[in-house]
Amino acid sequence: MLKTEHLNKAMFEKFAPRRGERALLPDLTPKAEVALMCRMLFAEGWNDHIAGHITVRQPDGSILTNPWELTWDEVTASDIITLDQHGNILDSHWNTTPAIGLHLQLHDARPDVNVVVHNHPKWSGIWANLQETPPIYDQAGAYCGSELPNYNEYLGTFENKTTSMTAVDALGDAKWALLAHHGALVVGRDLRQAHLRAATLEWRCRRAYEVRLAGGAEPLAEEVIAQIGLPDANGFPFLWEAMARRELRRDPTVLS
């Protein structure tokens, strides 16, 4: 019998959608994809009122982002803002938070990063406030590996460019981080990858806190995490599409 690790790799090589594909969905504009991502992550717990931003770098260097004034569960495609690489608004009457600088610095520092997600989710926010790294107790929490930096030099809000640059430096080449007394940060090559990471992080943090409240348990060993983790360059096969369809069923006007 194949080992779990080999089975996972074989499965994902066979079924993982290639970059840019959106099987099982109608044709979506880039702005519609960002609006759907906002709705999808809101449902995953990235839902602190009007806090947080998602930025998505486009092939021409411009950046798409959600507006400051709207909650993530009400954003539609037409609300998505186009920015130049310096953060200047090109096509919208909406505004962006001054904290957008953190995203711009990350895009500039990390050519591999086309998507940056920041918010103050409930469960990862708990571990950020504890300044601890949550253990992994189940398969869904292990999808993206165990390494999780904890950035604990909170110097103020992220409209301060010096503060946000220290966060960029602290992140290094990591895929995500907990921001002490603040929230969570996830980066990715594309929306599919970033979605899996954001959903996995919140699931991992929730399960770890529930296990702690229940009295604790033995977390998964690193070798087990390595076996059951996903090669998440393409995310989880069909997950992005399934969650997008759920949001389209809830509110088809997200595409408007």
pLDDT tens profile 205-247:
999 999 999 999 999 999 999 888 876 556 677 899 999 999 9
- Domain membership of residue 101 as a residue range: 33-251
Instruction: Give me the pLDDT at residue 7, please.
Output: 41
Q: Report, as an integer, the average pLDDT of 146-172.
A: 70
Q: Report, as an integer, the average pLDDT of 135-158.
A: 83
Domain-located, residue 99: yes
Domain-located, residue 24: no
User: Does residue 152 register a pLDDT over 80?
Assistant: no
Least confident of 69-83, 117-131, 147-161, 207-221: 147-161
Domain-located, residue 142: yes
How many domains, in total, are found in the chain? Answer: 1
pLDDT, one tens digit per residue, over 160-178 is 555 566 767 778 889 999 9
Domain-located, residue 182: yes
Q: Report, as an integer, the average pLDDT of 16-30.
A: 70
User: Does residue 124 register a pLDDT over 90?
Assistant: yes
Domain-located, residue 245: yes
Neighbour order of strands in the sheet with 53-57: 81-83, 63-65, 53-57, 115-119, 183-188, 176-179, 150-151
Torsion sign over Cα 184, 190, 196, 199 = positive
Domain-located, residue 209: yes
Instruction: Give me the pLDDT at residue 5, please.
Output: 43
Percent residues over pLDDT 90 in the chain? 74
If one compares 237 and 33, the residue with the highest pLDDT of the two is: 33
Instruction: Give me the pLDDT at residue 24, please.
Output: 83
Domain-located, residue 14: no
Region of 11 (left: φ > 0; alpha: ψ -120 to 50; beta: rest) is alpha
Question: What's 196's domain CATH number?
Answer: 3.40.225.10
